[in-house]
Structures are given as structure tokens and as C-alpha cells.
Amino acid sequence: MAHDKKIIVGNWKMNLNMHEASLYLLQLSKLVKVRRDVEVILAPTVMTLQSLSLQVNLRQFKLAAQNFFWRDHGSYTGEVSASQLRGVVQYALVGHSERRHIFNESDKDMRNKVAAAVRNGIKPILCVGETAWEHANGETKDVLHDQLIGGLANITSEELDQVIVAYEPVWAIGTGQNALPSDVTAAVKVIRKQIEHLYGAKSAEAIQILYGGSVTPDSAADYLSLAGVDGLLVGAASLEAHIFSSIIEKAHKGSSEAEED
Ligand code: PGA
């Protein structure tokens, strides 16, 4: 199923302070028109989220948390819960490779986080992808299977339409090493097949799948044109408003004519 909206996510990671984030949002809002065919999602650090949520025009941009803890409240020093993020963000990244590999988060953490997001009315963007070693050793398919089974274990088929999957090969994140379009198409097919196996053909068709890993304004259109790719998860190239806005424009041009102003 071709989705009528492309999704472009900007993951700022641990960059931009309050002042810079606010200025960025101001700049981006001047550069980007409200488009019916593009959903733009910004994922700032947690400390800037609340002030940005007061500044943002939700018709133009949505907000995402980069991370959260899966319990709703309690004695978890230093953590922020999905229930606290309710009303502040509309989306949340889950299982970004930096969470998995730097902070040792497991598939058990992922499944609890995916469920916590859905329980709190926040759409989880579940990130999956193989390491360079797994890629070189032909293990991509197995890794994607395991991460999907692990991450979605607490999700029913009714809840699955709240979930977005992002294919992010670890070796392509922050490396400037672009994944080949054929690799991306193959991985997206594996993901849909596994969703079909877990939830049936209709769910597999309906689920939105993003690509992420060293996306730039030059490569964005190519990835967006791939069959089965519904959008992009952008890191470094989302940190400057004018660069990110040109990626957003590619998503609009690459889809149907639908403009509001
Ligand atoms: P990158 O990051 O675009 O800088 O490779 C992507 C991501 O981490 O989601």
C-alpha cells in the first residue's frame, strides 16, 4: 500500500541547547510550508522538549522523544516516562542503535518501551538494523527478525497501526557510508515479511517503514523513491534548518501534489 504521507524525522541526538533549539524551530518554520503529504517530526533532547512543545505549530511539525523509561512512574532516578511525555510529544524513538549499543538496551527494554508508548498515546518509532559485522556475515535477516519479534512482543494487531518501524543499519549511522538502495529494499522486504508472519498481510502492507543512516539532501530523494520506504530518519543532516528543510522538500516533491498554503 502506498501511504499518502511521507514521514521525515530529525533526530538531534545530544545536540542544541534551549536557545539553539528555539532558534532552529523558528528558522525551520519559516523554511517549511505545511504540507498534507509530509509529516515532519523533530526529536530534540528531552530538556528542550517542553519549551519547544509550547512554541511548535503542530500542523507544521510534530515532536518526538529520543528515549524514555517504560514504567509510568516510580523510584527511577534520572528517568522520564512515557506518561510524563504524554501531551508533549506525539512520537518517540525506541531502540535507536545508540541506545542498544552504547547504553546496552535489550529487546526486553524495547518491547516494554513500545508498549509504554502505545499505552500513553505516543507513536513509537521502533529502530532496527544490523551491525557491520552482522551485515558482512549475512546475518541481516536474522537480526531484523529477532529485533522485530523482541520489540513487538507486547503489541496486539489492533495496536500495530500506532507503530512505525525504522530500518537503520548500524554501520550507516553517522558514518557517511550510505546503504545501497538494493540493501534498503531488501531489508524493508524482510521487515514486511516478518510483520506479515506476526500480524498478517494487511498489517504488513499498512505498516510504515523509514530508512535512516547518513541521509543527506543528495541521497534523500533516492531513498524516498524506493518501493516500501515511507520516509527517513535523519541525524546529522537534521541539525541545520536549511539542510533539513531541503530534505523535507524532497519528500513533498517525491509524492502527490498536496499543499495547504
Ligand atoms: P545520521 O543518523 O543521519 O547522522 O547517520 C541517523 C540516526 O541516528 O538516526
Domains in the chain, CATH or no CATH each: 6-260 (3.20.20.70)
Q: Which of 13, 234, 243 to mutate to test the pocket of ligand 1 (most atoms within 8 A of CB)?
A: 234
Taking residues 233-245, report their average pLDDT. 97
Q: Where are the beta strands (DSSP E) in the chain?
A: 6-11, 38-43, 62-65, 91-94, 123-128, 164-167, 208-212, 231-234
| Closest ligand 1 atom number to CA of residue 213 | 5
Residue in the structure block whose three cell numbers are 542498544: 100
Is position 168 annotated as part of the catalytic site? Answer: yes
Q: Write the pLDDT tens digit of every residue in 85-127.
A: 999 999 999 999 999 999 999 999 999 999 999 999 999 999 9
Query: How far is it, in rounded angstroms, from Cα 151 to Cα 94?
Result: 9
pLDDT at 259 over 80: no
| Residue 254 binned pLDDT confidence (cut-offs 50, 70, 90) | low
- Cβ neighbors of 84 (< 8 A, separation 6 or more) are 68, 73
Q: Write the pLDDT tens digit of every residue in 191-208.
A: 999 999 999 999 999 999
* Residue 177 confidence (pLDDT): 87
Is position 197 annotated as part of the catalytic site? Answer: no
Q: Write the pLDDT tens digit of every residue in 168-190.
A: 999 999 888 889 999 999 999 99
Chain centroid offset of residue 230 CA? 11
Q: Which of 7, 9, 11 to mutate to test the pocket of ligand 1 (most atoms within 8 A of CB)?
A: 11
Name the grid cell of 172.
Answer: 550507516
Catalytic residue among 39, 98, 168, 249: 168
Query: How far is it, in rounded angstroms, from Cα 217 to Cα 234?
Result: 10
Q: Write the pLDDT tens digit of every residue in 2-44.
A: 677 999 999 999 999 999 999 999 999 999 999 889 999 999 9
pLDDT at 257 over 80: no
Name the grid cell of 78.
Answer: 534520572
Is 71 in contact with 116 (CB distance < 8 Å)? yes
pLDDT at 1 over 70: no
* Residue 253 confidence (pLDDT): 66
Q: Is the shortest distance between the CB of 233 and ligand 1 below 6 Å?
A: yes
Report the nearest-CA residue for atom 7 of ligand 1: 235
Query: How far is it, in rounded angstroms, from Cα 4 to Cα 102?
Result: 35
Cα 88 to Cα 96, 164, 199, distances in angstroms: 20, 19, 30
Q: Which of 67, 94, 126, 168 to mutate to test the pocket of ligand 1 (most atoms within 8 A of CB)?
A: 168
Taking Cα atoms as reference points, which of 27, 9, 25, 6 lies closest to residue 17? Answer: 25
| Closest ligand 1 atom number to CA of residue 174 | 5
